[in-house]
């Protein structure tokens, strides 16, 4: 009886962690989508709201950690359960960093107005959409411990990297042709890099899921294609 009660309570506590993480994930999706939206529509008010919403994500991360520590201290979970709790802390840490990238994108809204009509900007919403899809799916994979879905997200990151590379090249060409646009274009470059990093972080969550479920590392052989910009030449 006592044992069954203890087990049930661990599951309840763990479930509480999962609920918090799902809440964080939802907030991160909204922040990323909103940041790119604010940028594209030059909506400074929306950008300010996004920046000021970020501390709520940080607070949830602190709450996950507090609960996780409490859960470990009170329930003394065995190896597998413990691994779940540690994974929850890792995932919430990754989500918190994604939130920071969204905030950073929002902060750059006012610096980018003058490249509003730039062809490269068209790629941003598509890149953001793919990335938000990855966040959604990796959180589903996390909640359902679905390894296949996690691997699928991990593989899809290549698409985001490919758009980033195309955008990088296109922006550099644009900057060479329009030196007066260098400041806003540089901010746009950082925005694109931030989205690319958010995609990387989604793959990091996929790696946590994979390791948590299989006990193996997924990290080594991911097809990375954000190497291309390192060989971009002037006038390319």
For residue 15, the tally of other CB atoms under 10 A from its CB is: 10
Q: By C-beta, is 148 or 227 nearer to a copy of itself? A: 227
The owner of tokens 């750059």 is: 108
Exposed/middle/buried for 79, CB within 10 Å: 0-12, 13-18, 19+?
A: exposed
Among 79, 148, 216, 223, binds a copy of itself (CB under 8 A): 79
Among 1, 2, 117, 180, binds a copy of itself (CB under 8 A): 180
Is residue 158 at the binding interface for a copy of itself, with CB under 8 A as the rule?
no
Contact 225, 165 (CB under 8 A): yes
The owner of tokens 């909204």 is: 30
Is residue 86 at the binding interface for a copy of itself, with CB under 8 A as the rule?
yes
In the complex, minimum distance from the CB of residue 190 to a copy of itself, in angstroms, rounded to a whole number? 7
Query: Interacting stretch for a copy of itself, rule CB under 8 A, among 12-20, 33-41, 123-131, 174-182?
Result: 174-182
Interface of this chain with a copy of itself, residues 124 to 143, rule: CB under 8 A: none
Residues at the contact surface with a copy of itself, assessed by CB under 8 A: 58, 62, 65, 68-69, 72-73, 76-79, 82-83, 86, 89-90, 93, 107-108, 110-111, 114, 172, 175-176, 179-184, 186-187, 189-190, 193, 217, 219, 227, 229-236
């Amino acid at each position: 009886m006592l044992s069954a009660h203890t087990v049930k309570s661990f599951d309840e506590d763990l479930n509480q962690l999962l609920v918090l993480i799902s809440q964080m994930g939802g907030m991160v999706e909204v922040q990323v989508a909103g940041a790119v939206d604010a940028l594209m529509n030059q909506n400074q008010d929306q950008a300010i709201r996004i920046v000021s919403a970020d501390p709520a994500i940080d607070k949830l991360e602190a709450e996950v950690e507090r609960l996780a520590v409490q859960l470990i201290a009170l329930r003394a979970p065995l190896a597998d359960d413990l691994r779940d709790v540690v994974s929850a802390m890792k995932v919430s840490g990754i989500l918190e960093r994604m939130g920071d990238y969204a905030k950073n994108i929002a902060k750059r809204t006012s610096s980018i107005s003058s490249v509003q009509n730039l062809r490269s900007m068209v790629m941003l919403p598509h890149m953001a959409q793919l990335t938000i899809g990855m966040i959604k799916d990796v959180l589903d994979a996390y909640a359902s411990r679905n390894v296949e879905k996690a691997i699928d997200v991990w593989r899809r990151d290549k698409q985001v990297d490919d758009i980033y590379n195309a955008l990088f090249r296109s922006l550099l060409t644009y900057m060479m042709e329009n030196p007066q646009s260098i400041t806003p274009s540089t901010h746009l470059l950082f925005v694109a890099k931030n989205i690319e990093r958010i995609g990387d972080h989604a793959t990091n969550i996929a790696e946590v899921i994979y390791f948590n479920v299989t006990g193996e590392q997924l990290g080594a052989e991911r097809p990375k294609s954000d190497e291309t910009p390192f060989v971009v030449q002037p006038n390319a």
